[in-house]
Structure 1
Amino acid sequence: MRIFTILIITVVLAFADGESIVKYAAVIFRHGDRTPVEPYPTDPWKNESLWPVRFGQLTNLGIRQHYALGGMLRKRYSMLISEKFDPQEVYVRSTDVDRTLMSAQANLAGMYPPSGDAIWNPNLMWRPIPIHTLPETEDEVLAMKRNCDTYNVKKKAYINTDEYKTRLSKFQGLMNLLTLYTGKKIEDYEDINEIYNTLLVESIHDFTLPKWAQLLYPDKLRGPSCYSFTTATATPIMARLMTGPLLKEIVGKMNTVITKENPNPLKLSIYSGHDFTIGNVLNAMGLYDGNCPVYTATIFFELMQEKSTMNYYVQMVYRNSTGTAEPYILDIPDCGQMCPFDRFVELYSNLVDVDWHTECRYQIPWLTEALFALEMLVLFFLLYTLYYMRVRAGEESKRRSQPVYTIPIKEDNNNLV
């Protein structure tokens, strides 16, 4: 009996030694349920008065979805963050869009139900928490919409490839039908996805779809719609410029924890974005499974430290459900479910090493050479001008330093008038 007890204790300790704890986490989620952003021209439900809130806004369902997700995050990270909000522990950022800002607010309400002296109004169990944002046109990190000349050139080149055109041509018949029935020109995957999303929202809110839509939605539209989330990060350089700034920021926060540069490092970063955000990150990292990111779809980046070795690992978790389904651990390509931090950084160096502002200043190769030659010509002209001016100045100085001889003129009074 004694030997058996010792054996049990040994096994328990062995498992305990192998445990890992979360030292930092970055959470990226999509907003909750919303109304259609822009109904198509022939949409029978395009009258905004038929909807509970204005177009593109978060609904009560969306608020409840994110409040529930916030409660789940509280349970998941109860050992990482304090019960009361601490700005040194948690940083929240959202795109500058009403539905993402409101989703973040609802999520935080679920994460931080006030208690004790955090209750400022007993009739309102809610406490304001700061959410940071930037205008979308200035935000390359989360909105991913800041202009990048290099990216624009690379994407244009990509959509003109035979591979892209050949694949898209398979849906030409579908796009023709959608153009006919919606009254809107449908030309690519993004256009198909816009119609798919509108029909999805209308079906969620129990609006009867037109007969043509019932024949096409969801089965005929789902494939090309979900494929649209691969096109923005289709090539390594496109993925680098689109998602690099966000992943660089997350990896940088992890590195701060590991190196202990800051005695009070951030513990949790929360990013409130869109399906576009989720799809871009997953596809850029080789983790996209082809399914459209649903409302509240969430990616978890977790920096884990193994208790026995004190080594650091990255664990990625995904939740693509608005229900109670638990998130599942992702297999990081060529690394597995628990990827050593250094290996993780090495695998995704193409993304995290980005120098976005420098790389986005696109220069045409021949133009770069021409500009360099012009700069050299201007420099030569300036140097020659300076040299010439110095030579002339030296000659003038020399001339002035020589004695001046004058010939005396004898006055002739006889010549005076």
Structure 2
Amino acid sequence: MTVTIGGLGVTASAAANGQTTTSNAQRLPQIPLDVEQYPVAPCGLELKQVHVFVRHGERTPVGVRMRDPPASIPEHWMMCKAARNFRAAVAGLTGLSEEGANGSLDGSMPFTKRVERMDGTSIEGECLLGELTDVGRKSTYNYGQALRRIYIEKLGFLPDTLRNGNEVYLRSTNMPRTIESLQQIIHGFYPTSKCDVNVTPTLFVRNGKDENLIGNAYGCKRLEVLLAGFAQAAAGAYNKTLEPLDKIISKYIGGNPIRVDGKPRASGVMDTIRAAIAHGIKVPPEFRDKSVVDVIEQAVVAEWFSDKTEEVRRLGVGRLLVDVSQKMQAKIDRDVDDPLKILVHSTHDTSLAAICATLDVFDDNWPAFTASITFELFTKREEQNQGSYLQTVLQSLTSYPRPRLHYVRMRYQNKDMVLPLCAAEGDHLPGSPEFCTLKVFQDRVKALTPEDWDLECSPSGR
């Protein structure tokens, strides 16, 4: 089906739908992709390929929590008015086409989607749990526009109009909020007016067993076992630190204590709070007290995102980084014969945190909505040594081109990441430690590559 994109008005107050909101200034601060401060690479480096991993936009909580007084966070979120109209392709199933109002053969059927409640009622614009909201649609559309301004308008890396669909690769996890986020990013990056009439962008989605944009516990039993163990360890380590908060937090969660493994879990409480704040919905004042929130988020980050063992890194992120490394190598080997220039992946907070932790640059903060990581591949000719006139003449006569050097720059939340693995002299561009040599980057990826996926994913591991 094709989503009708448009009408992304998100300024209407949720208060009109019975939801109490705070001012925009009190919303959870986001970090939009910064076009003006994007650092152009040093002279002599040529951008060859870009890999983008972006968290989906703002969404509703994935569960109903804290709806009762005194928290009173809404159970029903009226923030999904955009993209409620669809056109389903049905003609291909029947062999028939319908004549549209303009006399053309459309071959599709329009319909509208609504959320139905248990009592059978429905209200236009209500969101499903965990659904991308109109705010999220707008922020991901803005992200796509920022990508366009950097890589098309500022750098001239990509053409203004997409005429070769093989220059762009688009992929999402098989979740509605990530798929819809990627649709919005595409619309901002290469809107219909900037796509050749013969080019239709393709959005790739993998089956669950083949997914590597997230730590795939579904397809890897050993990873599931390890992550469950880390969650238990986080509960043992942090529940004591949460106990002093019970006297001020428990009244908002049904009198229950706030715990890593509580009911609701601390991560669930913070999911609801972060989603509410991101949409300007009023939350209890305690959840705007930094001294309180920091304690809870420290425990949640430890449970979900903190540095894990090398085995977890291999099974959780290894195959993803292998994809990055292999596509970079293909670009180097084939050069102009490989048209692929930018790869945009729509994914989740756990993905970004895991990538950062695996490369030892995680900042221990919960990744924001539309947070993103980029890996940029650059090439540079090896500088010719100064020598005698005879050496210069002999070098000019040789038929062999000078070898090219290749570098990878990782950026997260508008910041260049200086990877510890590239810290040694010779492992990065001289004077620019953020430009890691491709060889060192690939050596680390090789160490993270599962040798026998099925064996390593058995419950007991290899």
TM-score by length of structure 2 reads 0.64
Aligned match for 2:408, one of 278, 295, 314:
314
Structure 1 or 2: more helix by fraction: 1
Q: Which runs of 5+ in 1 are unaligned?
A: 1-14, 121-126, 320-326, 366-417
Q: Alpha-carbon deviation of 1:302?
A: 0.8
Partner of 1:409: none
Partner of 1:404: none
Partner of 2:76: 48
2:284 & 2:316 partners in 1: Cα distance? 37
Aligned match for 1:266, one of 340, 348, 351:
340
Q: Alpha-carbon deviation of 1:109?
A: 0.8
Q: Alpha-carbon deviation of 1:34?
A: 1.3
Aligned match for 2:223, one of 124, 134, 151:
151
Q: Would you say 1:225 and 2:300 are equivalent positions? A: yes
Q: Alpha-carbon deviation of 1:308?
A: 5.1
Q: Would you say 1:343 and 2:440 are equivalent positions? A: yes
The alignment yields a C-alpha RMSD, in angstroms, of: 3.3
1:279 & 1:176 partners in 2: Cα distance? 31
Partner of 1:99: 177
Look at both structures and tell me which one has the larger radius of gyration over its CA atoms: 1
Cα contact 1:31–1:272 (8 A) shared by 2: yes
Give the percent of matched residue pairs that are identical in Structure 1 and Structure 2. 25
Partner of 1:254: 328
Q: Secondary structure in 1 aligned to 2:214? A: coil
Partner of 1:64: 138
Q: Secondary structure in 2 aligned to 1:243? A: helix
Q: Secondary structure in 2 aligned to 1:269? A: strand
* Shift in alpha-carbon separation, 1:218–1:311, aligned structure 2, 3 A: same
Cα contact 1:175–1:192 (8 A) shared by 2: no
Q: Would you say 1:83 and 2:160 are equivalent positions? A: yes
* Shift in alpha-carbon separation, 1:88–1:16, aligned structure 2, 3 A: closer
Q: Alpha-carbon deviation of 1:328?
A: 1.9
Q: Alpha-carbon deviation of 1:104?
A: 0.4
2:249 & 2:57 partners in 1: Cα distance? 27
Q: Would you say 1:361 and 2:435 are equivalent positions? A: no
2:460 & 2:361 partners in 1: Cα distance? 32
Q: Would you say 1:334 and 2:421 are equivalent positions? A: yes
What number of residue pairs does the alignment pair up? 335
1:92 & 1:222 partners in 2: Cα distance? 32
Cα contact 1:90–1:266 (8 A) shared by 2: yes
2:42 & 2:226 partners in 1: Cα distance? 49
* Shift in alpha-carbon separation, 1:143–1:305, aligned structure 2, 3 A: same
Q: Which moved more, 1:85-94 or 1:109-118?
A: 109-118
TM-score by length of structure 1 reads 0.70
Q: Secondary structure in 2 aligned to 1:339? A: strand
Q: Secondary structure in 2 aligned to 1:334? A: helix
Q: Alpha-carbon deviation of 1:358?
A: 3.7
**Equivalent residue letter for 1:274:** H
Partner of 1:169: 240
2:246 & 2:173 partners in 1: Cα distance? 31
Cα contact 2:210–2:219 (8 A) shared by 1: no
Q: Equivalent residues in 2 for 1:366-381 (5 A)?
A: none
Q: Would you say 1:287 and 2:364 are equivalent positions? A: no
* Shift in alpha-carbon separation, 1:206–1:66, aligned structure 2, 3 A: closer
